[in-house]
Amino acid sequence: MYRFLVFISFVSIVFFSCKENPPTYGDVLAKEFEQKSYADFDTTAYVKVFNEVYSREKSQLHNPSWMKELADSTEGMTLIAAHLFDGSIDTMLNYFERSEEHGLRTSYFHTSAIKEALTSLRKLKTKDVADAYPLLAKLDLLGTDAFVAYVSSIKYGVINPKRLYGRYFVPQKRMNYGKVVHLLDSVKVGTVLADIQPKNQYYTKFQDLLENGNLNNAERRQVLMVLEKLRWMGSSFPEKYVFVNIPEQRLHIVEEGKTSQLMNVCVGETENPAFSKKGENHETPVMQGILDAMQVNPVWNIPSSIVKKELLASVRNNPNYLASRNMVAYYKGKQVDPATVNWNSDSVEHFRFKQNPGSDNSLGNVKFLFENPYSIYLHDTPAKQMFGQTNRAVSHGCVRVEKPVDLASYLVNNEKQAEKIAKEITTDSISKSRWVTLKRPMPVYITYYTTWLDDEGKIVSYPDIYGYDPRLKEALKKYWAD
């Protein structure tokens, strides 16, 4: 009821600010529609009709529970009532009619039904204001539901990627009821709709291809998936960043929209039988962060998953395995002598293992870190031969880089520092680990695009190594514009 009173105050100020007695909603309707009978608007009767309309339209709503709760708190006037005469509904419909620019069908936003109700309401000539109740209710209900759905779809994407992919680790903002209430209480419809249009430079390029690229059906669907993934991202790419595209299995250093350096990478193994002989699932997650530190001659803290699945079996088969791989074991923080351990005991599963710096360290001679809770980072590797393979989905999830010296030199952005690190990285001698804090932290995006654009703006395609595309295609079917 509070928000309904706020609405009445709003229309009072807008339409009757010079009068001593504030108008009713009926007064506003009567003045704007030039129908004197509308002054007899009966809120109780209207709410009853609104509830009847809600019952009929409920199955068509995208957020029926939110719409019902909003209606109960506003006497059935949730959004459209406050914008019935300021041009906002026409502006909103204009955006809905252009939703195919985003690859989304206009019918998803009730566009035709809203236009029909609005036209009928404007044409209606009656002596009984009750005749307008069903149109007002339908307009408000469908308009509010569509407005919320449009803002949510364009700002956050129509699909929540975390429901599709177990290893999608980019934080997601989604619409909730609290955000809906805030949106409707403070909204300037035209301003909101203009502000949420994606500004990402790749988004606008793919939009142009969608409209003017003469795409075949398969290419069109690929572009539609890219647009949705970019909506998940939300923001634009910065001026300089590191871009790892998992299906491409390459790393780009990008400056002002162009690739300044390019190198192969190895990404995580997959259970997809077309790309993995072992059937292992160590897929590199989709994530992003800020590269802010490097460790030269790193120590590898071996993850417990690798210990349980691989390392213990190797140690049990060969008691000298740890020494041969420059590894050490710890129990309760103290280093243990492998010769004194019963490796067939269950207690060894509680041991911690590290691999010391050296030419055989699995992380190579440098690792590049960005803060995340998943122990994912970029690193060097002694297995250089893997970079020459076509299928480089061979890691346990981290990203192995082909040219660690080039990447390190770029990140430190200092010639003397770069020369020092390059010397340390390329030496075969075992050295102490040391940390390098980057004075110029660099955004890094670990992404999954089977379709992308090259520096000339042409579409390039890559194999769907993790088999992600069919899931997204199926989820987007009901939203796609034909």
**Smallest Cα–Cα separation from 410: which of 372, 439, 377, 381?**
439
**Smallest Cα–Cα separation from 229: which of 472, 458, 471?**
472
Q: Are 66 and 72 in contact (CB under 8 A)?
A: no
Question: CA of 286: how far to CAs of 163, 166, 248, 372, 397, in Å?
Answer: 14, 10, 13, 12, 11
266 is catalytic: no
Burial bucket for residue 456 (CB in 10 Å: 0-12, 13-18, 19+): exposed
Question: Which residues touch 12 (CB under 8 Å, ≥6 apart)?
Answer: 22, 23
Question: CA of 370: how far to CAs of 126, 290, 361, in Å?
Answer: 67, 5, 20
Find the catalytic residue in 110, 282, 379, 396.
379
Ramachandran angles phi, psi of 59, nearest 5°: -65, -20
User: Two tokens at 172?
Assistant: 């997601």
62 is catalytic: no
Q: Are 300 and 281 in contact (CB under 8 A)?
A: no
Distance CA 71, CA 76 (A): 4
User: Two tokens at 186?
Assistant: 């403070």
In what helix (H) or strand (E) does residue 219 lie, and over which residues does it extend? helix 217-233
Q: Are 355 and 382 in contact (CB under 8 A)?
A: no
Distance CA 479, CA 475 (A): 8
Burial bucket for residue 121 (CB in 10 Å: 0-12, 13-18, 19+): middle
**Residue positions annotated with a catalytic role:** 379, 398
